[in-house]
């Protein structure tokens, strides 16, 4: 059995199939782990969701910010981003089934045998494993409720909940969990989330900001963290305990696959449109 972790697909389905063909991925024996943002900017969001749903137990998925936004768009809470290519997905006869499947996916995945944790954007440095599991499970449960749109999705669009505190309300804790696990890049010295800067580290001109993963963390070095979300750093984290897999395929760069057992990265360049 082989374990493959893939970075943000964002609807780049053709590139996904090509990179999987390079390793002869076999769903009957192998497992495909996806760091989230299955949908959005590429033109194959429908096919991507259909494929992962068809894999059933051979795939481990976490939700990304674009996946959560799809729930809001489908629920008529938000309009489609003009930069996204979701028309085929949203008008598909499968959309209801795929949305119901998507909201069953968690915000974190764990491979305890190898001490690997996977989320979309990262894990707050001040969280231990107990907090991660508890908070992510609470959000997952909320997404599976009949009122998930009004009780959670409609209320998650706020930057005001930017720091973890024990005295947050239950709703605020859910919002912080979503913000941290699906949107986090830079942190202030006191641990507050910054929602504005998406630049590579060398281009960030705010001396108060630093990447979340260089802060002292309760989960490292015992755990290996796998994440995506931050295409601008192009996988450069300089730590064997971190695997940043978003390498900007939807922006014209490439899709990255990490083969756990050999510790090798396999890539597929973005296909040029004819």
Reported in sequence order, the residue ranges of 86-162 that DSSP labels E, i.e. its strands, are 109-111, 116-118
Mean pLDDT estimate for the chain = 96
Q: Supply the pLDDT for residue 99.
A: 98
- Decide if 192 contacts 107 (C-beta within 8 A): no
Q: What's the rounded mean pLDDT across residues 31-44?
A: 97
Place of tokens 């991925």: 25
pLDDT in tens, 196-245: 999 999 999 999 999 999 999 988 789 999 999 999 999 999 899 999 99
Q: Which helix (H) or strand (E) holds 59?
A: strand 59-61
Q: Supply the pLDDT for residue 274.
A: 60
Taking alpha carbons only, the member of 64, 63, 53, 68 closest to residue 231 is 64
Q: What percent of the chain has pLDDT over 90?
A: 94
Q: Supply the pLDDT for residue 243.
A: 98
Let me know if 65 is exposed, middle or buried by CB neighbors in 10 A (0-12, 13-18, 19+): buried
Q: Is the pLDDT of residue 254 over 80?
A: yes
Task: Report all structural domains of the chain as residue ranges with CATH numbers, in order of start.
Answer: 3-269 (3.60.21.10)
| Distance, CA of 268 to CA of 254 (rounded, Å) | 5
Q: What's the rounded mean pLDDT across residues 104-115?
A: 97
pLDDT in tens, 44-61: 999 999 999 999 999 999
| Distance, CA of 67 to CA of 61 (rounded, Å) | 11
pLDDT grade, residue 272 (50/70/90)? confident
Q: Supply the pLDDT for residue 221.
A: 81
pLDDT in tens, 124-158: 999 999 999 999 999 999 999 999 999 999 999 99
- The bridge status of strand 193-194 relative to strand 242-244 is unpaired
Q: What percent of the chain has pLDDT over 70?
A: 100
Q: Which residues contact 254 (CB under 8 A, 6 or more apart)?
A: 15, 247, 248, 267, 268, 269, 270
Q: What letters, b where the CB count within 10 A reaches 16 and e where it falls short, cover 79-93? A: ebeeebbbeebeebe
3-state secondary structure of 7: coil
Q: Supply the pLDDT for residue 273.
A: 75
Q: Is the pLDDT of residue 84 over 90?
A: yes
Q: Is the pLDDT of residue 260 over 70?
A: yes
The pTM of the full predicted model, rounded to 2 decimals, is: 0.97
pLDDT in tens, 161-187: 999 999 999 999 999 999 999 999 999
């Amino acid at each position: 059995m082989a374990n493959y972790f893939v970075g943000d697909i964002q609807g780049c389905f053709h590139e996904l199939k090509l990179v999987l063909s390079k390793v002869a991925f076999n769903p009957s024996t192998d497992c495909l782990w996806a760091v989230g943002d299955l949908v959005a900017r590429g033109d194959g969001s429908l096919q991507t969701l259909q494929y992962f749903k068809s894999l059933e137990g051979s795939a481990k998925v976490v939700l990304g910010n674009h996946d959560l936004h799809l729930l809001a768009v489908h629920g008529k809470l938000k309009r489609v981003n003009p930069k996204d290519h979701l028309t085929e997905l949203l008008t598909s006869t499968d959309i209801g089934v795929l949305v119901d499947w998507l909201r069953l996916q968690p915000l974190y995945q764990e491979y305890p045998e190898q001490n690997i944790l996977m989320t979309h954007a990262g894990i707050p440095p001040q969280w231990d494993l107990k907090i991660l599991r508890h908070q992510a499970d609470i959000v997952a449960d909320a997404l599976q409720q009949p009122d998930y749109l009004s009780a959670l999705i409609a209320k998650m669009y706020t930057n005001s909940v930017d720091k973890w505190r024990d005295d947050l309300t239950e709703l605020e804790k859910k919002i912080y969990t979503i913000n941290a696990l699906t949107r986090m890049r830079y942190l202030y010295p006191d641990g507050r989330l910054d929602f504005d800067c998406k630049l590579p580290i060398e281009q960030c001109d705010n001396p108060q900001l630093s990447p979340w993963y260089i802060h002292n963390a309760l989960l490292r070095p015992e755990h290996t963290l796998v994440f995506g979300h931050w295409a601008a750093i192009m996988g450069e984290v300089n730590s064997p305990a971190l695997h940043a897999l978003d390498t900007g395929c939807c922006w014209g760069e490439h899709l990255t696959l990490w083969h756990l057992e050999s510790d090798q990265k396999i890539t597929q360049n973005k296909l040029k449109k004819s």
